[in-house]
Chains A and B, each alone.
Chain A
Amino acid sequence: MGLRAQHSNGFCLLQVEDSRIDAAGAIAFKEAVRQASEGGQDDVLLDLGAVDFIDSSGLGAVVAVMKALGPDRRLHLAGLRPAVAKVFRLTRMDSVFTIHATVADALKDAA
């Protein structure tokens, strides 16, 4: 699972470089996010702008990532493409994440 990490405006910004978060990649995704975010205090901003497709296993992995961050660090999502947004909307899981249209919006809101 390709994940590019940087720190920006008080966020640990994680850019997913794979085009799918699916059953074949869900475990690797969780592990990559855990490694990239562990030890920090900042909220995590997950950039999904390159992700064309997510299935329920991938959605479960995003939920697991949020839980693993614990109560003091929030997970923000940005750049949801149409098929990804649809999965979040239909499962109503869009109600449990802070979702920004773009990474730039998320950084602006935080500034």
Chain B
Amino acid sequence: MGKTVFSLSFTATPLAVRRGLLAFETYLAGLPVASERRDSICIVLAEALNNITEHAYPNATGPIWLRAQVQGHQFIATLRDRGAALPAGLLPQPGPGTGHSAPNPTDLPEGGFGWHLIRSLADGLDHARFAEWNELRIIFRNAVPSPPLP
């Protein structure tokens, strides 16, 4: 049985994000989470981390902290950065018909899918701004049918 808490900090660059995600995937593979759900969690984290790299640190880079843990049957990931504040109203709640909509496939979009994927696959999103920090908490309900003992 793998550890129940994951914690890693890295720089907000695409390559460092990839390496961070690979380390996270190794951790997640050690948890009793169904592979279909693991895919969803990895997609959401990839999009949230890409958003930080592209939008929180648009002209420079900076640190990202990723922490994840099992809490009962829930899986919770927390991302922190010291970049630009997430614009008010950008954080959509999960579920259809909220926040900005997905791009129309017939327009052959090359971007704009990120928040749509996050909203489609996460069960809860909670953003807070503390002084110079963004904190995004992402909740996946019932991801861990038989939680490991702490």
- Chain A positions near chain B (C-beta within 8 angstroms): 20, 22-25, 53, 55-57, 59-61, 63-64, 66-67, 82-83, 86-87, 90-93, 95-96
Contact with A along B25-67 (1 / 0, CB 8 A): 0000000000110011011001100100110000000000000
B150 to chain A: which residues have CB within 8 Å?
none
Q: Main SS of chain B's interface residues? A: helix
Q: With A23-B17, A60-B113, A90-B120 as given contacts, are A55 and B105 in contact (CB-CB < 8 Å)?
A: no
Question: How far is the CB of B102 from the nearest CB of chain A, in Å?
Answer: 6
Question: How far is the CB of B97 from the nearest CB of chain A, in Å?
Answer: 15
B43 touching A20 by the CB < 8 A rule?
Answer: no
On chain B, the number of residues with a Cβ less than 8 Å from chain A's Cβ atoms is: 32
Q: With A53-B46, A92-B102 as given contacts, are A22 and B120 in contact (CB-CB < 8 Å)?
A: no
Q: Which residue of B lies closest to A20 (CB)?
A: B18
A96 to chain B: which residues have CB within 8 Å?
105-106, 108
Complex CA–CA separation, A59 to B40 (angstroms) = 16
A22 touching B109 by the CB < 8 A rule?
Answer: no
Complex CA–CA separation, A57 to B15 (angstroms) = 13
Q: Which of B105, B111, B112, B113 contacts A95 (CB 8 A)?
A: B105
Q: Which residue of A lies closest to B108 (CB)?
A: A63
Q: With A20-B18, A22-B18, A55-B43 as given contacts, are A60 and B109 in contact (CB-CB < 8 Å)?
A: yes
Interface flag for B117 (CB, 8 Å): yes
Question: How far is the CB of B43 from the nearest CB of chain A, in Å?
Answer: 6
B36 touching A82 by the CB < 8 A rule?
Answer: yes
Q: Which of B14, B17, B54, B113 contacts A59 (CB 8 A)?
A: B113
